[in-house]
Amino acid sequence: MTVSVGERPRGSSTLCLPFRQEDYLQFIDDPTAFRAVLDRMFADLPELFPSAFDQGYTLKDSYTSKKTGLCLRRIQCQATGEAFLIRPSFVLPYLTARTNEVDNALYLRKFGVPFHALARVFGRNVMYWYRLEVSLGRNSIVGTTVRQAALPVHLLADEHHQTRDGDKVYVATTIAEGCCLGAALSPGADEVNLTEAYGVFKKEALDVEPTYKPQTVNTDGWSATRAAWLVLFPLIAVLRCFLHGWLNIRKRGKHLKEIFWTMGEKVWHAFGAENRRSMAQRLRRLRDWARRQLKGPVLEQVEKLCSRSKEYGEVYKYPGCHRTSNMLDRVMRAMNRYFEDGQHLHGSLKAANQHCRAWALLYNFTPWSSVTVKANEDWRCPAERLNQHRYHDCWLQNLLISASLAGFRR
Within 8 A by CB and 6+ apart from 329, the residues are: 243
d(C-alpha 299, C-alpha 313), whole Å: 21
The confidence band for 123, taking pLDDT boundaries of 50, 70 and 90, is very high
Q: pLDDT by residue (tens digit) across 266-314?
A: 999 999 999 999 999 999 999 999 999 999 999 999 999 999 999 999 9
Q: pLDDT by residue (tens digit) across 326-372?
A: 999 999 999 999 998 888 888 899 999 999 999 999 999 999 999 99
The confidence band for 253, taking pLDDT boundaries of 50, 70 and 90, is confident
Comparing C-alpha atoms, which of 6, 1, 3, 8 is closest to residue 352? 3
pLDDT at residue 5 is higher than 50: no
Q: pLDDT by residue (tens digit) across 38-61?
A: 999 999 999 999 989 999 999 999
Contact 136, 363 (CB under 8 A): no
Contact 158, 119 (CB under 8 A): no
Q: Which amino acid is at 51?
A: S
Contact 144, 403 (CB under 8 A): yes
Q: pLDDT by residue (tens digit) across 225-241?
A: 999 999 999 999 999 99
3-state secondary structure of 227: helix
- Percent of all residues in the chain with a pLDDT value above 90, rounded to a whole number: 85
Within 8 A by CB and 6+ apart from 244, the residues are: 220, 221, 325
How does strand 167-176 pair with strand 154-164? antiparallel
DSSP at 351: H
Predicted pLDDT of residue 104: 96
Q: pLDDT by residue (tens digit) across 360-381?
A: 999 999 999 999 999 999 999 9
pLDDT at residue 261 is higher than 60: yes
pLDDT at residue 91 is higher than 70: yes
Q: pLDDT by residue (tens digit) across 60-75?
A: 999 898 888 899 999 9
Predicted pLDDT of residue 57: 95
